[in-house]
Structure 1
Amino acid sequence: PPMLTNRHGLGVGCIGGPLYAIGGHDGWSFLNTVERFDPENCVWSYVSSMANVRCSLGVAVLENRIYAVGGRDGAAGLRETESYDPHTNRWSPCAPMQKRRGGVAVTACNGFLFAIGGHESSATNKCTVRHDDGERYDSRCDQWTLITSLNRPKEALAITTVSDKLYIVGGFDGKVLDEVEQYDPELDQWIKCPTLGTKRAGACLIHVPNSIRQSSSSTSSSSSSSHSFSS
């Protein structure tokens, strides 16, 4: 079923089954509202709203909490970070990032959050200031720390974590990009990877673990159904 509110530039996170659609823009205004999708009953319902309206934010799950990071509120890029506890249905403020980051890419890796790239320009500033660096968040001490720089400043990039490494794909630096970079948190080092076949900005990127793919393959192989499956 459709969401209860029209949204673009939203963030999405999943904890234990339910899917959360966070913030965004409805075509008229920036949103702080949040919806949860129950896959068992196939219904959307509202949960507690964030303190900040935000669009083009980054969302990731760390230690059973959903983090909403950065974004923009129509006036400027945001530093603010909030975390959501699904058990109490409450948002709590976290330490702000060191830089304002709209169009930021966020993922969790090795017990930390990583916020990469983005921009800090206000709506009235015709010169967009994009970032070529990222920040790491440690929830144990509620602190953001800058990490080493990317190949170039960029926003609207896609990100995921695979085998304890970060991968960022595409993005926008004034033009749409086909670049792919890998980050090793242990070495604090970025390396270039083979480029995309198609330039992409604002893309989605997801890692499907081998265990899920293998399970799906086994199920389809043992089934007597005549349906065909493709990866």
Structure 2
Amino acid sequence: SEDLASVEFNDEDGSNNNEGVCSSTLSGPCAPIAVVGHTCVVVQKGQKQIMLVIFGHSEKYGYLSTVQEYEFETSSWTTALSRGAVVNGVYGHTAVWDPSTSLVYIHGGLKSEGSNNHVIPHLITYNPNTHIWSLRRPAPVPRFLHSSVLVGGLMLVFGGNTHNDTAYSYGAKCYSADFIAYDITCDRWYSLSALPRLFLDVARYGHSATVSQDSMYVIGGFNGKMLGSVLKYTLGECKSQSSKECLGSYPGRKCVWNRILQRCEAWSNNDKTPYDECDLMTDKTNLTALCEQQSSCQSCVHNTYQCFWCGQECSHNKCSDNTK
């Protein structure tokens, strides 16, 4: 066993390496920036792994829309110069790294606008190699202080707080037991099967989650009192007998239809067998409204909504004839 008395914690703030020189590529805050309510993910950037510190709240700068990069080999910090869609800093969001798309998926959070705070349903991606932001389809319900994990082509999102405690509630839950999934390939959100009856209330926020051997573990949280419980969710199997049932079922993992063997199988990024990956169910997302909400050219063209920038406005599919 490890001798905890010999464990040493070092302050990797980069002060010894930068010698007082700002390591930021921006004219704003210089990394490392002290933050709370942020996320950290380890990603592959070129031939090396780095850590990204995404968003969060700073006592000095407020809500940050920055990405701080930490290089393990040199113990150095930089603030990335990002481009693409215009993003706002949030607090209490989640971030997961997907090696198959080389993107970080950031979901939800609490956003500040002036004196008001808003819980958001947004899903955005960040490419650490190109520093480009892009918008994906938002979730059906906004939330923050939830958990997200990546399992075989799906981002599983559990719990969280779906309304801001400082504002009037219109029925949204403080402690949510929602269990939803985002299909990365199909750019769709789905509700997972209802949780079985349990001897304890699983609703919570402020918890954490991880994945090990085809199981998702949810640890701790708050539901009016501090929780010390550990919930285990075991992923189901892909065993539907038809293509329609297979592509529409989400037993905690992404299922695909093998066109050659005519059977339902679990998604694998390394398998090149011809598969049907997305169902033909009509997408109810109002893409027209999502495009019209984009007020900048950058956000209009960096998303999955099929938007076009038409001079002074963003439009879905095409520009109108009278738009110059």
Quick check: TM above 0.5?
yes
Q: Which amino acid aligns with 1:172?
A: F
The alpha-carbon deviation at position 36 of structure 1 amounts to 0.7
In structure 1, the residue matched to 2:246 is none
Q: 1:62-141, aligned counterparts within 5 Å?
A: 62=98, 63=100, 64-74=102-112, 75-125=117-167, 129-141=174-186
The alpha-carbon deviation at position 129 of structure 1 amounts to 2.4
Matched, 1:13 2:49: no
Matched, 1:4 2:42: no
The alpha-carbon deviation at position 184 of structure 1 amounts to 2.3
Q: Which amino acid aligns with 1:139?
A: I
Matched, 1:159 2:209: yes
Answer whether contact 1:106 1:115 (CA < 8 A) is retained.
yes
Change (3 A) 1:149 1:130: farther
RMSD: 2.0
The alpha-carbon deviation at position 126 of structure 1 amounts to 6.2
- Cα deviation code 1:166-199 (max 9, x no counterpart): 110010111110111111232648xxxxxxxxxx
Q: Which amino acid aligns with 2:66?
A: T
Mapped to 2, the partners of 1:168 and 1:126 lie a distance apart of 29
- Counterpart of 1:83 in 2: which secondary structure? strand
In structure 2, the residue matched to 1:55 is 91
Answer whether contact 1:133 1:148 (CA < 8 A) is retained.
no
Q: Identify which of 29, 32, 44 aligns with 2:65.
A: 32
Q: TM-score, normalised by structure 1?
A: 0.75
Q: Which amino acid aligns with 1:46?
A: T
Identical pairs, percent: 23
- Cα deviation code 1:26-62 (max 9, x no counterpart): 1252121110111122111111277121111111111
Q: Which amino acid aligns with 2:135?
A: P
Mapped to 2, the partners of 1:149 and 1:169 lie a distance apart of 20
Matched, 1:185 2:235: yes
In structure 2, the residue matched to 1:23 is 55
Instruction: Specify the structure having the higher radius of gyration (Cα).
Output: 2
The alpha-carbon deviation at position 149 of structure 1 amounts to 5.0
Mapped to 2, the partners of 1:30 and 1:93 lie a distance apart of 19
Change (3 A) 1:155 1:149: farther
Count of residue pairs the alignment pairs up = 189
Change (3 A) 1:122 1:59: same
Change (3 A) 1:149 1:169: farther
Mapped to 2, the partners of 1:101 and 1:153 lie a distance apart of 13
Mapped to 2, the partners of 1:154 and 1:52 lie a distance apart of 26
